[in-house]
Amino acid sequence: MKIAIGSDHAGFDYKTEIINHLKHLGHDVQDYGPSNADSVDYPDYAHPVASAIENGEHTLGILICGSANGVAITANKHQGVRAAIAWQNEIAALARQHNNANILCIPARFIDMDLSKKIVTTFTTTDFEGGRHANRVNKISCA
């Protein structure tokens, strides 16, 4: 699977570990930055990841910042993007199953590295259930 990933400074260490984890699972990962842990503005990295999902370059995206709120808010400005914050494994599964989320947002300051990897694995291996959920998902876009 082709996965786009980005973070801010608070999520940089997690991003590095998650990239290695995803590659170990056999995914093709494109890192949209940043390239170090210096302070940055999260929209500068969330927008390119969201654009890559919006235009079909990648199947799924992952964004990481301190609370995950900033990157989620930014990503959800893009049509066709359904960015979901997950701090528990079950939330990641439900985001895929019920909401067809295509970007996972991880709150690096609130979960540990091992849990973040479990959440990423769940997100990338869980399918959208469709059915009754498809009608709801189809009502999300404003366009």
What confidence tens digit (pLDDT) does each residue in 100-120 have?
999 999 999 999 999 999 999
Per-residue pLDDT tens for 2-45? Answer: 999 999 999 999 999 999 999 999 999 999 999 999 999 999 99
Query: Does the annotation count 65 as an active-site position?
Result: yes
DSSP state of 128: P
Report pLDDT for 116. 98
Domain boundaries, the chain: 2-137
Pick the CATH number of 2-137 from 3.10.20.30, 2.40.110.10, 3.40.1400.10, 1.10.287.110: 3.40.1400.10
**Kind and range of the H or E run holding 121:** helix 113-125
Burial of 138 (C-beta count, 10 Å sphere; 0-12/13-18/19+): exposed
- Counting Cα atoms < 13 Å in the Cβ hemisphere of 49 gives 34
**Kind and range of the H or E run holding 134:** helix 132-137
Per-residue pLDDT tens for 66-96? Answer: 999 999 999 999 999 999 999 999 999 999 9
Global pTM?
Answer: 0.97
Q: Report whether the peptide linkage leading into residue 34 is cis, meaning its omega lies within 30 degrees of zero.
A: yes
Q: Which residue has the tokens 């990295």?
A: 45
Query: Does the annotation count 105 as an active-site position?
Result: no
Which entry of 65, 78, 133, 142 is annotated as an active-site residue?
65
